[in-house]
Amino acid sequence: MTHSVTVRVPAKVNAQLAVGAPRPDGFHDLANVFLAVGLHDEVTVTPADELRVTCSGPDADQVPLDTTNLAARAAIALAARHGIEPAVHIHIAKDIPVAGGMAGGSADGAGALLACDALWSTGATRDELLAICAQLGSDVPFSLIGGAALGVGRGEQLTPLEVGGTFHWVFAVADGGLSTPAVYGEFDRLTAGTDVPEPAPSPALLAALRDGDTAALADVLGNDLQPAALSLRPSLADTLAAGTAAGALAALVSGSGPTTAFLVSDAESAHKVADALRTSGTCREARTAVAPAPGATVV
């Protein structure tokens, strides 16, 4: 009998993204405080004659369906490790904005890995799965574990963080994406000739997360890639201003952008800010979500 496995996997926002100087390998050391948010992709794997990827959802036409897709790469990596053929149909039901700084591709990589692991009963340990995630991309291990975590190194070395409450967010989705390497490259250009400090997590931010204190968190959110994203996409300043004017407690670019993230006090404020953003003409769409969300989960 042909059976399928479906995994639900969350998007992320970076509550803090402290970026160091470029390393010899081209990556940047980070202090990356990840928070999983309740916008999800669903990845379904079904036995097939050969590897095939399909995608549905409003942004599906922007998702590569060849072996550059992180979900396909995850299936290939797991199969190679266990000496089996990656003969699966991977379907991605995509709800996370594409190339938006919300780690949608990473989510699909982690989701496909967990789904194939369940389908093939490989018996892989959690550490083995996390090691494969880290090979696929810096953000992929976090997509597997979800919740909240501090990522150091290039973001792949994770320490889970305690979160003492629920945080309400609004996300303004921009037209078109921004390339992550281009944003890091712009960061290098903007900081050239300056002394870039070693990235370190903010104690005040970790305390605000632990206490579930929205007002305290709003005061300390930070993204070192924001000037670079704004330099490449100056119109994001209008989106940030529109959300702030509508009552958001804090506004920042999500990771490498161009999605912008707004921390709000409660669900009612989230709907008000989302409505204002939709009518502001400064974004394509606005979504509300709560954090933290669980990591990749078989459904």
Ligand X SMILES: C[C@@](CO)(OP(=O)(O)O)[C@H](O)COP(=O)(O)OP(=O)(O)OC[C@H]1O[C@@H](n2ccc(N)nc2=O)[C@H](O)[C@@H]1O
Binding residue per annotation — 104?
yes
Binding residue per annotation — 107?
yes
Interatomic CA distance for residues 99 and 106, integer angstroms: 11
Of 117, 139, 211, 272, the active-site residue reads 139
Crossing angle of helices 104-120 and 126-136, in 10° steps, is 140
Binding residue per annotation — 99?
yes
Interatomic CA distance for residues 144 and 161, integer angstroms: 15
Choose the binding region for ligand X from 79-87, 132-140, 265-273, 275-283 (rule: CB under 6 A): 132-140
The closest of 99, 209, 106 to 159, measured between CA atoms, is 209
108 binds ligand ADP (CB under 6 A): yes
Residues whose CB falls within 8 Å of the CB of residue 131, separated by 6 or more in sequence, listed in order: none
Q: Write out the binding residues for ligand ADP, residues 220-279 only, by CB under 6 A.
A: 256
176 binds ligand ADP (CB under 6 A): no
Report the nearest approach of ligand X to the CB of residue 14 (Å).
5
Q: Helix, strand or coil for residue 57?
A: coil
Q: Which amino acid is at 189?
A: R
C-alpha dihedral sign at 167, 172, 177, 182: negative
Binding residue per annotation — 101?
yes
Choose the binding region for ligand ADP from 94-102, 113-121, 195-203, 213-221 (rule: CB under 6 A): 94-102
Interatomic CA distance for residues 254 and 271, integer angstroms: 19
Report the nearest approach of ligand X to the CB of residue 249 (Å).
21
Nearer to ligand X, 119 or 173 (CB): 173
44 binds ligand ADP (CB under 6 A): no
Could you tell me the two tokens for 184?
Answer: 């890091």
Residue 123 CB-half CA count within 13 A: 1
Is 59 a catalytic site residue?
no
Report the nearest approach of ligand ADP to the CB of residue 38 (Å).
16
Specify which residues 92 forms β-bridges with. Answer: 43, 55
Binding residue per annotation — 134?
no
138 binds ligand X (CB under 6 A): yes
Q: Write out the binding residues for ligand X, residues 87-116 only, by CB under 6 A.
A: 101, 103, 106
Report the nearest approach of ligand ADP to the CB of residue 112 (Å).
8
Is 272 a catalytic site residue?
no
Count of Cβ atoms closer than 10 Å to residue 6 Cβ? 17
Binding-site residues for ATP: 97-107
Query: Interface residues with ligand X (CB under 6 A)?
Result: 14, 17, 26-28, 30, 32, 101, 103, 106, 137-139, 154-155, 180-181, 184, 255-256
